[in-house]
Amino acid sequence: MNIYITYIVLGLLLPLVALLYDGIERKMTARIQGRVGPPITQSWLDFVKLLTKKVKLPEDTNMLMLFSGLVLMFAGAFIPLIMVFMRKGDLILLMYLMVGGTLGILLTGLAFRSPYSRVGVSREMQMAFAYEISFIFAIVITIMVTGCRTLEACSASSIPLIKWPLLLIPFILFLFVAPAKVGVVPVDIGEAESEIAEGPFVEIGGRYLAIAKLSKSMKMLALMQLITLLYLLPAGVTGVWYWIASFVIDGVLVFFTISVVRNAASRIKIDQAVKFYATVPLAIGIIGLVIVYLMRGWGM
């Protein structure tokens, strides 16, 4: 009985925390640029505002596609979020769920006939092909090094110290993949706000857009917590300290992988991004896989 209450409370609170992290990220970006920036509740306020607006969709919208896309997008962010914070579940399943979130974005964009959303979908798809393979490599290497597939067993706190240098490889891969998966500036090519007006989301508004934005924030927090859990959480933290440590490390990660990257670089073109993801992270992934395989042969 108790566990269900925990799940319900987490299911209600974690989306709010995700929106708060989004607001913190915007505040940090503003501070880096020398601005005052919005209050940290700004993303939550945007969410509330979007819920109060009337919805106006184009007449020829494919509603089935829109709804299935939104449901997939939400599920692909919400379930991983709960999974990583509860440390319950399977890494492979998590990987598939997060890919499902990307699929949701594609479906949402395909529900409209606007050329902007079509361009966004096509770019999103190319990006997904480019970075998801590195994401899969990162998870596979982690599983090979730690020899476990469930999140509880894999968390950094339960892994012997000698294996930590090997975990550096998937960690670096994750750092490469994180901005692309969350969709921030140097590689937010599919949703380029200033260029193709948020790509797949160009025609949706009101509560549908609220769900899309919420999913994006939740995806960010889930990914950060996944990295924290797998590689960064110090050994032997449990109970309240687990939550405090997670949230602090998540914040630091958001700062370094999202805010700094976003302010240091301008948007690159789709061909440059695909070329980059198809060379550097992929090469690291393949070499890492070979190294880990050989090390396993030596009994590590």
Positions touching other proteins (CB under 8 A) are 26, 30, 33-39, 41-42, 44-46, 48-49, 52-56, 116, 193-198, 202-206, 209
Q: How far is CA 175 from CA 65, 154, 178, in A?
A: 32, 18, 5
Spatial contact of 100 and 215, defined as CB atoms under 8 Å apart? no
Please state, in angstroms and rounded to a whole number, the distance separating the CA atoms of residues 14 and 77.
11
Token pair of 8 as six digits: 């319900």
How far apart are CB 111 and other proteins at their closest, in Å? 13
How far apart are CB 173 and other proteins at their closest, in Å? 32
Q: Determine the angle formed by the axes of helices 239-253 and 2-32, rounding to 10 degrees.
A: 30
- Name which of 18 and 91 has its Cβ closer to other proteins: 18
- Name which of 89 and 200 has its Cβ closer to other proteins: 200
Q: Which amino acid is at 145?
A: V
Please state, in angstroms and rounded to a whole number, the distance separating the CA atoms of residues 296 and 267.
40
- Name which of 90 and 195 has its Cβ closer to other proteins: 195
- Name which of 194 and 238 has its Cβ closer to other proteins: 194
Q: Look up tokens 């949230």; give the residue.
A: 247
How far apart are CB 55 and other proteins at their closest, in Å? 7
How far apart are CB 54 and other proteins at their closest, in Å? 5
How far apart are CB 184 and other proteins at their closest, in Å? 16
- Name which of 35 and 269 has its Cβ closer to other proteins: 35
